[in-house]
Structure 1
């Protein structure tokens, strides 16, 4: 039996392991460039959507997907924080008058915005 064969119908090469030919597959080991939200999405996919995770990993689209999710979540959180702060009257004037109150309100607003976006984008 040949040690290596190539199947033109699917474009894969196979290597003989014992009595079986197994495809020569390699995972592209590139440095992840995604941030916090990309990591959260990756963990969610691994635990709750393993088939989708494996598909993205094997096709080499995982890092791109995670980068896109990370960017989308950051933009959405930033937009929501601005909208919620404006709605609740958290302004630069308040920051000048009572900085600790402003920090507390902004932290609360950011946590709320993140929670909303995590449910809409990450955990879908």
Structure 2
């Protein structure tokens, strides 16, 4: 299962190991950690898509053909905002 794990699953695992070790150990012993991490990773990726769509509706990205650097800056800013929300809502809880 760990091969299928993405960025958010690994972040969640590291958080549990370092800040909620007893929960992590219980899940490890019950063999539910892999399933939990996959669920969190999937939920985080789905939430990221929703947030990015909402951000783009609220603040549309500039035309990529006209100003590629402005487009990259705006896209990176949207992604950073989405990631911050996901970390607070799903990973560090």
Which TM-score applies when normalising by structure 1?
0.70
State the partner residue of 2:38.
67
Q: Does 1:48 align with 2:19?
A: yes
Task: Name the structure 1 match of 2:59.
Answer: 88
State how far apart, in whole Å, the 1-side matches of 2:60 and 2:13 are.
Answer: 36
- The answer to whether 1:107 aligns with 2:79 is no
Q: Which has the higher contact order (CA 8 A, sep 6+)?
A: 2
Tell me, which stretches of 5 or more residues in structure 2 are unaligned?
A: none
Note the aligned Cα RMSD (angstroms): 1.2
Select the structure that is richer in strand: 1
Provide runs of 4+ in structure 1 moved above 3 Å.
Answer: none
**Alignment length (residue pairs):** 92
For normalisation by structure 2, the TM-score amounts to 0.92
Q: Over alpha carbons, which structure has the higher Rg?
A: 1
